[in-house]
Amino acid sequence: MEETLAEQEDRNLNSDSSSSSSDDDDEAAEDLRIKTLEKSLAKNPFDYDTNVQYIQCLRKFGRLKQLRQARESMNERFPLSSEMWQEWIKDEVSLCTSSEAFTEVEKLYERAVQEYLSVPLWCDYINFVQEHDASISQGSPDGISKMRQLFERALTAAGLHIIEGNKIWEAYRYFEQAICLIMGDNENEEKEKQTHRVRNLYHRQLSVPLVDLRSTLREYKLWEAEQGNHNDANSEFDGVPTNIISAYKKATEVYNARKQYEEQISNRDASESERLQQFMNYIKFEESSGDPARVQILYERAVALFPISSDLWLGYSSYLDRTLKVPAILRSVYSRATKNCTWVGELWVRYMLSLERLHASEKELSNVFEQAIQCAFPSFKEYLDLFLTRVDGLRRRMSLVGSKEDGLDYVLIRETFQRATEYLLPECLSTDDLLHLHSYWARLEVKLGNDIVAARGVWENLLKKSGSMLEIWQSYISMEIELGQINEARSIYKRCYSKRFPGTGSEDICHSWLWFEREHGTLDDFDLAKKKMAPRLQELMAFKAQQETKVDLASDVNKDGSSAANAPQKRKIGKALEVKQPPGKRKKYSSEPVQASERDSIRAPEQIKLAEETDKGQVEKLLDTAAVNHQSMGTSESRESKPDHYTDECTAFISNLSLEANEDHLREFFRDCGVTAIRLLKDRKTGGPRGLAYVDFSDDEHLAAAVAKNRQKLLGKKLSIARSDPKHSQKRILAGSKTSAAHGLLTGKRFARGNSIRKEDESEVDKHVSSGKFTGSVTFAAPRALVKPLGWNLFMGNESD
C-alpha cells in the first residue's frame, strides 16, 4: 500500500511538472506572437488587419492594460466597427465597480454611436444607462429628463431605419408607459400629461415608414382601449384620429415603395459588389424623393457595411455639402471618410474646403492638411491638388479686408509653396501642372507678398532645374509683360533666344521676340532684335536643310535592299554627288562663318533637288533612330542587355533617395513587393547618384503595396513613392532623346547608318565646345563658325574616303 502511494505521488509530481512546462511554452508562444504584431505595427501603424489581430490577441490572453492602449491607438487612426465597440464596452463593464467607472463606460458609448450607425449599439447604450444610472432608476426628474434626451437622440440617429428603427420606438414607449404605471392615483394631472406623451409617441411612430407598421397600429388601439377609449378591434381604423389615419396610409405607401430595395440589400447570398450596387440604386431612388433625413440614414447604413468604399464616401460627402450643411454632421462624415479611405486625395481636398465653408480655425485646417500630406496617394497629381487647395484657402482668407484671424500671414503661403516644390520634383509633374504651380506662386508673391524680386526668384529657381523647357521661359516673360517690366522681359529674351529647345521651340522663341519688340519696343529695339535673329534663324534653316538632305540620301540608298547589300553602292552615290572644291575650301576648318548662300552654291544640283523634295516626316524618323543609338552607345553586349524603351506599366518612381542608397538597399526595402528591376538615375556630368530611381514590379498588386510605403524611411530619409506615369513625361523624354541625337551629330557620335566625322574633326568640334564658342544649347543648329565644314563632312563623307 505504501509503494502504491509513493508511485501515485511521483505521478502527481511528474504531471505537475509537465503542466508547468506546457504553460511556459504557451506563454513563450504568446509573447512571441504579441511581439511580432507589435513590430509589424511599428513599421506600419495604418495596417487595419494587423491592428485587429493585435487587439484580439491581447484580449485572448487577458492583457487588459495593453488592450485598452491598443484600442485607443487604433481608434485614433480608424473608426471601429459596432462589434468592436460592443466588445470593448463589455470588457470595461465587467470591471465597472464605481460611479467613476460608469462615467467612463458612458463616454465610450458616446464615442461608439458617433462612428457608425448601429441600432443594437443604441439599444445597448439605452439599457446600460437605465440600469446603472441611479437618478433614472429612482425616477428623479433629472434622471427622467436625461433618459428622454437620450431616446430623442437615438430616434434622430436611427428612428428612420426601416427595418430596425421600431426597436428604439418601442423602447421609448415602454419607458414612458412604465412612468405612467408607477404614478399614484392622486397625481391625476401628471398622469394625464404622461398619457398624452405615450399617445404622442404612438402617433409619431405611425407616421414613419417602418416594417410591420400594422402591428404598431393594433397595439395603439389596444392601449387606447385600456385608457377607456373603446374601439372596434375588427375595424382597422376605428377610434383612430383622422390625421393619424392619413399619416399612417402615407407611411405605408412610402414603405411599400422601398420594400423591394430593402429585400435586395438584405440578400445575404449576393456578393459584396452586388449588394453595394443595390445600395447605390436605393440611394439614388431615395435622393429623388427629396427627403434629406432619409437619404442621410441610408448612406449611414451603407458606409457601416462598406466602410472602405470611396464611391460611397464621395457621394455621401457631396450630398451633405449640397443639402444639409450641418457643421457637426459634415465634420463627422469627413473625419470618418478620410480615416477609412486615406488614399483618396479628393476626399481630403473636399474635407479642407468643407472646413473653410464652416469658418473653421487655422489650427483645425492646418491639422487636416498635415494629416493629408502624410498619406500615400496613387499619383503626384493628388499631392499637388492638396497643396493648391491649402494655398487657395490661405489666399481667400488673407484677401478679406482686414483679415488677420489666427495670425494669418503671407509667410504661410510662401512656406506652403516651398514645401510643394521640395515635395514634387519637376519630373513628377506634367508641364501644365508645373507651370500652373509656379505661375500661381509668382503671382501671389506680387499680389499678396508685394515682392517682385521674390516672384522672379520663383522662375529663376525653376529654370535652374528645368531650363530646357521653352514654356517656362515663355511664362516668365509673360509675367514681366503683365507687370509692365518691359526691359526685364527683353533681358530674358536675350538670355534664351540662343538656347536649345525641343521641336520648333528655337524658332518659336526667335519669332516671339520679334513680335514682342513690334508691340513694346522702339525702332532701335526692333532693329537690334532683328539683327540678332537673322543669323540665328539662318543657322536653324541651314541645319534643317542639311538634315533633310541626309534623310533623302539614306532613304534613296535603302530603297533597293538592305544596307549591308548596298554598302558599295552607297559609297558610289557619295562619290557621284561629291563636288570638287577649290583648294582654299579644302582647309581643315575656316574661322570665318559660311553663309547659307555660299553653302548652297557648292552643293550639287542633285543635292539641292533632294533637299527640295524631302519628305519632312522622315526627319522625325531619323532623329528617333539617332536618339535610340545615342542612348544605347557602348558594347553590343550592353545594348542587348538593356531595353531601348521602358513602358513603366508596373513601375514606381522613387525620389528623395539617400545618395548612399544602391540597388541592394532598394531590394531589401521592397523585399515583399515583387521587384523585377531597379534603375538608379545618375548625373550625366559627374556620374554620381541623383537620389532618384525607377523600380519595376511584377504586377499591379505588388506595385500598390510598394506605393503604400510612401514616406517610410530608407537610410534616414523619407522616400517619396508614386506610380510612374509615362504619359506625362513621354514627350519630354522623346525631345531629350532627339536633342541627344542631334548633339551626337555635332560631336562625331554614330548616327544611324551615315558617315562619321573624322577624329581630327571631332577634336576640333570639342575645342569649340570647350572654348565656349557655342552660343547656347541649340537643338537644330551648329555654331555659325562650323556650319560649312562640319555640315559638309557629315553630308559628303571624309575626304580620305
pLDDT at 489: 97
State yes or no: pLDDT of 311 exceeds 70.
yes
Cell of 86: 460592443
The rounded mean pLDDT for the chain is 80
Select the more confidently predicted residue: 101 or 241. Answer: 241
596-616 pLDDT, tens digit per residue, is 334 333 333 344 343 444 444
Task: Determine which of 100-109, 186-195, 278-287, 602-611 has the lowest per-residue pLDDT on average.
Answer: 602-611
The dihedrals phi and psi of 681, each to the nearest 5 degrees, come to: -85, 135
Segment 676-691 mean pLDDT: 86
pLDDT at 130: 93
pLDDT at 18: 53
Residues ≥6 apart with Cβ < 8 Å to 727: none
Task: Determine which of 253-262, 308-317, 540-549 has the lowest per-residue pLDDT on average.
Answer: 540-549
The full DSSP string for 672-721 is TS-EEEEEEEE-TTT--EEEEEEEEESSHHHHHHHHTTTT-EETTEEPEE
Select the more confidently predicted residue: 620 or 356. Answer: 356
Please report where in the chains the cell 469658418 appears, as a residue: 359
State yes or no: pLDDT of 645 exceeds 80.
no
Q: How far is CA 170 from CA 176, 178, 204, 237, in A?
A: 10, 12, 12, 21
- Residues 647, 633: Cα–Cα separation, whole Å: 20
Q: Which residue, 375, 394, 486, 478, is CA-closest to 708? A: 375
Global confidence as pTM: 0.67
119-128 pLDDT, tens digit per residue, is 999 999 999 9
* 680 beta partners: 693
pLDDT at 401: 53
Task: Determine which of 71-80, 185-194, 508-517, 754-763 has the lowest per-residue pLDDT on average.
Answer: 754-763
State yes or no: pLDDT of 402 exceeds 80.
no
Task: Determine which of 141-150, 407-416, 549-558 has the lowest per-residue pLDDT on average.
Answer: 549-558
Q: Tell which phi-psi region holds residue 40, choosing left (phi > 0), alpha (psi between -120 and 50) or beta.
A: alpha
Q: Which of 372-386, 389-403, 766-780 has the highest mean pLDDT?
A: 372-386
State yes or no: pLDDT of 193 exceeds 60.
yes
What is the percent of the chain where pLDDT is above 70?
A: 75
State yes or no: pLDDT of 466 exceeds 70.
yes
- Residues 683, 689: Cα–Cα separation, whole Å: 6
- Residues 107, 8: Cα–Cα separation, whole Å: 56
133-176 pLDDT, tens digit per residue, is 989 988 899 999 999 999 999 999 999 999 999 999 999 999 99
329-387 pLDDT, tens digit per residue, is 999 999 999 999 999 999 999 999 999 999 999 999 999 999 999 999 999 999 999 99
Task: Determine which of 277-281, 283-287, 641-645 has the lowest per-residue pLDDT on average.
Answer: 641-645
pLDDT at 102: 87
Select the more confidently predicted residue: 136 or 753. Answer: 136
State yes or no: pLDDT of 566 exceeds 80.
no
